[in-house]
Amino acid sequence: MSREGSFIGEIAGEKMYFAYKRNNITGWILIIALPYNAIMAGANKTIQQAR
């Protein structure tokens, strides 16, 4: 596993965006998961309005 990165996966059937980063001092990995649709809502709205 690299020191940091991101990927798309699912939790309980919901599409999620995950980002992670390893702490050099503790070796711990911080992982944040956000609903993919919430992240993309603004971009999708802009695309729809441009059509």
pLDDT single digits (tens) 2-41: 899 999 999 999 999 999 999 999 999 999 999 999 999 9
Domain ranges of the chain: 4-50
pTM: 0.77
- Cα separation of 41 and 51, whole Å? 16
- The answer to whether the beta carbons of residues 37 and 16 sit under 8 Å apart is no
Q: Which pLDDT value is given to residue 18?
A: 98
- Cα separation of 17 and 33, whole Å? 6
